[in-house]
A and B are shown apart, each in its own frame.
Chain A
Amino acid sequence: MINISDLSVRIGQRSILSDINIEIEDGKWTCLVGPNGAGKTTLLKSLLGSLPYSGSITDNGVEVFRNHDRNVAFVPQHPQIPIGMGVGEYVMMGRSKRDGWGNESSHSRKMVVDILKLTGLFGMQSQHVSLLSGGEMQRALIARALVQEPTLILLDEPTSALDLHHQISVLNNIEILKERGVTIISTMHDITLAAMYAEKIVVMQEGKVLLNGTSDFVIHSPELKSAFENRINVYTLDSGRPVIVANKDLTS
């Protein structure tokens, strides 16, 4: 259980997050949704320990920021792509924390090959990362996260900039992580997809948590509409799945 209490982040004079209080269950997929600038990415960075914050984030009672041995994988929205690096080498970087930088055990090499096969990247290991398509790059990032054998994985907009076909393939890859008992926290633009895959949804607005609960609860809350300034409508399909669509009539 990750417990976030009274979390606030300021950058200069600007308050990015204020008084965030949420609990994140182990082994579940929690999705952060909300408009741009709501503080979703900042919340992910605080969980990674790369940003100074006030308040506390504890993982099973241990203050996360002070526990550097924690193995947290991070899939960024805009990765920095090392020019000239091969896919195999790139994914192998995920083992650095386990093996120690500069070492690669035969166990790690075997694991990297297995994960490349699992994510459909096997055969491309010597291809340059810079030449990958958007969908392939996203899968390479998830492959790197998988070989990290993390207890927690943070994904920043894993499906943005992908077409529907690749969105689904990436989301299925994330499901593989969940089956391995990994706790997943992601941000996502598409609430319909979020509701379909994630068990928990946290709706954020202007640095605060507006709604927090199971996907069903959040999707059907009237507050969800107000978070998006009543610009969305929620429909339920015959199968019971919710669908969120933009509301064209802005005056409603």
Chain B
Amino acid sequence: MIKNKSKGEDSGLAPIWNWKITAFAAALLLFVGILAISFGPVSLSFQEIIRTLLGLPGGLTGQDRTLLIDLRLPRALLAAVVGAALATSGAVYQTVFRNPLADPYLLGAAAGAGLGATIALTSAGADLRSLLPVFAFFGAISAVLVSFFISGKFFAEPNSLLLSGIAVGSFATAVQTYLQQRNSASLRPVYSWILGELTVANWQVVTWSSIYIFIALIILFTVSKQLDGLMLTDEEAYSLGINPNKLRVIAVVAATLATATAVSASGLIGFVGIVVPHLVRGLTHRVTNRGLLTIALVGASFLVLADLGARTLLSPAELPIGVITAFVGAPFFLFVLRKKRLVAQ
């Protein structure tokens, strides 16, 4: 009896992270992924999909096979990779800037990518449409770099970077609007890009975006345990064996690489970067960055599911995925927020 009691006291200290949660998130992603590639205007059977993917006899043939391999699979993969990138970057920015409202587009990445994309779509001379991702990528990276150089005081005060990011973002948006007004034919394609689209998904896009995003995520997962130290003051971080300045630069650079890649591959998909980290933290009652992998997996599942909705709800027409993420994400998020507050009381 006494022994049990002392055991109970020990377990009063919850483990910092429970890996069962991560395993559950991975299983969820797998399930959602299979769901996404089997549903659509043409439904494919689970069994045949799995046989096709594993290269077993009795798989899909002809048009169905092309539909799976060249359309649905790359699209689901892109959604997963982009979702993981946005959710992880969002969580990291929230920690680095000690601001629960920070999102991956904060440092001007979104506006910069928007400007890059608009330049590609409005250029009169050559047809640069196919180079849109490249333009968007460099637009995003340039905007963040400019924010970095202007702020200068990043080491002393992370918030100054945040403010210069907002200023650079506004400037890029102003230039983008000017270009759009001068070339009204571009309004519609630019608008639809801004709302986010995964229709461009093909194996080429999936490959290059996966490479960049994987590099960025591996860096972030490697430093994820130490990121908790950035939730404290710099002096406390030093005393706990962390160099906060170095860690902040590594985290921001990697998160920006992931965001810029995601934006250039799929346009601006809002909400994932804020909602998913808070959702995972709310449901697990853990704010530690040790849950970063889980946040990535849930972000991937969320976007795969949102894309399934985007292409099936008004089938054969498509909804912009950004509309789905906000439409479904916002109420669900509010529900969790409310529930969490009740628990805290």
A residues touching B (Cβ–Cβ < 8 Å)? 45, 48-50, 68, 72-74, 76, 78-80, 82-86, 88-89, 92-94, 96-97, 101-102, 104, 109-110, 112-113, 122-123, 125-126, 128, 131, 148, 154
Which chain B residue lies CB-closest to A106? B10
Which chain B residue lies CB-closest to A83? B100
Q: Can you give 20 contacting A-B residue pairs, CB < 8 Å? A: A48-B238, A73-B239, A74-B236, A80-B231, A82-B231, A84-B281, A85-B287, A88-B12, A88-B14, A89-B16, A92-B13, A96-B240, A97-B240, A101-B228, A110-B10, A113-B9, A125-B13, A126-B12, A131-B344, A148-B240
- A80 proximity list for chain B (CB < 8 A): 98, 231-233, 236
B338 within 8 A of A: no
- A92 proximity list for chain B (CB < 8 A): 13, 16
**Considering residues B12, B14, B224, B240, which has the most beta carbons from chain A within 10 angstroms of its beta carbon?**
B240
B226 within 8 A of A: yes
Question: Do B12 and A104 touch across chains, with their CB atoms under 8 A apart?
Answer: no
Using known A-B contacts A89-B288, A101-B225, determine if residue A74 contacts B239 with beta carbons closer than 8 Å: yes
Question: Do A102 and B281 touch across chains, with their CB atoms under 8 A apart?
Answer: no
Chain A nearest CB, measured from B265 CB (Å): 31
Chain B nearest CB, measured from A112 CB (Å): 6
- A48 proximity list for chain B (CB < 8 A): 235, 238-239
- A78 proximity list for chain B (CB < 8 A): 233
Question: Do B10 and A93 touch across chains, with their CB atoms under 8 A apart?
Answer: no
Which chain A residue lies CB-closest to B237? A50
- B233 proximity list for chain A (CB < 8 A): 76, 78-80
Question: Do A86 and B235 touch across chains, with their CB atoms under 8 A apart?
Answer: no
- Which 8 A-B pairs have CB atoms at the shortest separation, nearest pair first? A102-B225, A82-B231, A74-B239, A97-B241, A84-B287, A101-B225, A50-B238, A80-B233
Question: Do A94 and B9 touch across chains, with their CB atoms under 8 A apart?
Answer: no
Chain B nearest CB, measured from A151 CB (Å): 12
B15 within 8 A of A: yes
Question: Do A94 and B13 touch across chains, with their CB atoms under 8 A apart?
Answer: no
Q: Contact partner of B240 among A49, A93, A112, A123, CB < 8 A?
A: A93
- B236 proximity list for chain A (CB < 8 A): 74, 76, 79-80
A84 to B225, CA, bound (A): 17
Chain B nearest CB, measured from A152 CB (Å): 10
B residues touching A (Cβ–Cβ < 8 Å)? 9-10, 12-16, 98, 100, 224-226, 228-229, 231-236, 238-242, 281, 285-288, 290, 344
Question: Do B290 and A102 touch across chains, with their CB atoms under 8 A apart?
Answer: yes
A109 to B287, CA, bound (A): 19
Chain A nearest CB, measured from B286 CB (Å): 8
A125 to B238, CA, bound (A): 24
Question: Do A101 and B100 touch across chains, with their CB atoms under 8 A apart?
Answer: no
**Considering residues A48, A76, A88, A102, which has the most beta carbons from chain B within 10 angstroms of its beta carbon?**
A102
A115 to B60, CA, bound (A): 63
Question: Do A113 and B13 touch across chains, with their CB atoms under 8 A apart?
Answer: yes
Question: Do A109 and B13 touch across chains, with their CB atoms under 8 A apart?
Answer: yes
Chain B nearest CB, measured from A183 CB (Å): 14
Which chain B residue lies CB-closest to A94? B240
A125 to B12, CA, bound (A): 7
Question: Do A49 and B238 touch across chains, with their CB atoms under 8 A apart?
Answer: yes
Chain A nearest CB, measured from B242 CB (Å): 8
Interface contacts beyond A89-B14, A122-B9: sample of 18 additional A-B pairs, CB < 8 Å, sorted by A = A50-B235, A74-B238, A74-B239, A76-B235, A76-B236, A79-B236, A80-B236, A85-B231, A88-B12, A94-B240, A96-B229, A101-B228, A102-B225, A104-B15, A113-B9, A126-B12, A126-B14, A126-B285
Which chain B residue lies CB-closest to A102? B225
**Considering residues B15, B100, B288, which has the most beta carbons from chain A within 10 angstroms of its beta carbon?**
B288
- B228 proximity list for chain A (CB < 8 A): 82, 93, 96, 101
- B290 proximity list for chain A (CB < 8 A): 102
Using known A-B contacts A78-B233, A79-B233, A128-B344, determine if residue A88 contacts B13 with beta carbons closer than 8 Å: yes
A84 to B228, CA, bound (A): 12
Chain B nearest CB, measured from A52 CB (Å): 11
Question: Do B229 and A93 touch across chains, with their CB atoms under 8 A apart?
Answer: yes
A86 to B344, CA, bound (A): 11
A89 to B12, CA, bound (A): 11
Chain A nearest CB, measured from B85 CB (Å): 22
- A110 proximity list for chain B (CB < 8 A): 10
Question: Do A86 and B14 touch across chains, with their CB atoms under 8 A apart?
Answer: yes
- A45 proximity list for chain B (CB < 8 A): 235
**Considering residues A101, A122, A154, which has the most beta carbons from chain B within 10 angstroms of its beta carbon?**
A101
Q: Contact partner of A74 among B14, B100, B235, CB < 8 A?
A: B235
- B13 proximity list for chain A (CB < 8 A): 88, 92, 109, 112-113, 125
